Amino acid sequence: MVAHWISAAATAAVLGAAHANAVPYALELCGPQACGSVLDSSVIEAVATRSDSVLRRAAPAAPAPYYQLELVVQGGGASIVPGAFYVRKADEVRVAEPVTRAVWARLPPHVAAALHAATDHVKPYPLPRIQTVIVGRRRARDPQSYLRLYAIPGKPASDPAGPRPTVDAVHGFRTWQRWYAKVRRLWLPIVSSSPVASPWTGDSTDVWISKRGALLERDREVVRVDAGFAARVRQALSLR
C-alpha cells in the first residue's frame, strides 16, 4: 500500500501541475444526468479543486447526495477534477489532488449560495452503493452499513502515530515509509469500493480503525468512538 500510495502521489503531482497551468472559465457541478454551471470567476477561484489549495480543513461531510466537479478551461472542453466532489447539504467540497488523499473544505456563505443556485434544478448523485469493504484482511459482511464510518459522531482525538511527515512523498520516500510502518502497527486500514465514484469510497479515502481502543480516522480527522462500535468494525461485522 505504501508503494502504491507514493506512486499514485507522484503521478497525481504531475497531472496536478499541468492542470494548474490551465485557466478555468466555468465550474460544472454534475449529477448523473446533467450539470449546473458557475461562471463567476471570483466564485470559481474560491472553490478548492486541489488539496494543497485548502488552507483550513473541515471535518468530512456525512454521506448525502453529491455532485462531481468539472472545470471548463480556455481552449478545451470540460474535464472531471479527480477526486473532487461537492456535498450540498454540508456546503463542503472534497478534493484529493495532487496527493491522492482526501481533504475537505467548508465553503464561504456567498460561495455556497452560488453553488446552491447552480444546482437548484440538477439531480445529484444519490448515496453510493458500496460493493466491498475490507477491514485489514477481513471482508465486511454488510458493506453498505460502513457509510456510518463517516456519519457517526465522535470526540476529537490525537493520532497515536504522530503527525504526518511534512516532506512530499516523492522526495521523502524513506520518511513516509517509516511513518507508515508506525501507522501499520497501530491502525487497521478500511478500503471500500463503489460502482460510481463518491467522496466516501475508493482509493483516495483515508479510513482507519485503531487496533486497540476506540479511535477512528476518516480523511485526517481522528475521533474517539464507542468501544463496542470500534470492536464491530475491527471484526468487519455489520454496523447497522
Assess whether pLDDT exceeds 90 at residue 34: yes
Confidence of residue 133 (pLDDT cuts 50, 70, 90): very high
Assess whether pLDDT exceeds 60 at residue 173: yes
Are 148 and 239 in contact, with CB atoms under 8 Å apart?
yes
Cα–Cα dist 33/234, whole Å: 38
**Burial environment of residue 110 by CB neighbours within 10 A (0 to 12, 13 to 18, 19 or more):** exposed
- pLDDT at site 82: 82
- pLDDT at site 59: 95
- pLDDT at site 19: 45
Confidence of residue 2 (pLDDT cuts 50, 70, 90): very low
- pLDDT at site 75: 66
Bridge partners of 29, per DSSP, are 36, 69
- Mention every residue, 6+ apart, whose C-beta is less than 8 A from residue 174: none
Are 27 and 114 in contact, with CB atoms under 8 Å apart?
no
Assess whether pLDDT exceeds 50 at residue 239: yes
DSSP state letter for 66: B
Residue type, 240: R
- pLDDT at site 158: 94
Closest listed residue to residue 97, CA positions, set 22, 13, 24, 192: 13
- pLDDT at site 12: 37
Are 25 and 74 in contact, with CB atoms under 8 Å apart?
yes
Residue 70 grid cell: 468539472
More reliable by pLDDT, 66 or 20 = 66
pLDDT digits (tens, 9 = 90+) for 50-84: 888 888 899 999 999 999 999 887 666 667 788 89
Confidence of residue 10 (pLDDT cuts 50, 70, 90): very low
pLDDT digits (tens, 9 = 90+) for 175-227: 888 888 888 999 999 999 999 999 999 988 999 999 999 999 999 999 999 99
The residue-averaged pLDDT of 1-26 equals 44
- pLDDT at site 51: 85
**Burial environment of residue 48 by CB neighbours within 10 A (0 to 12, 13 to 18, 19 or more):** buried
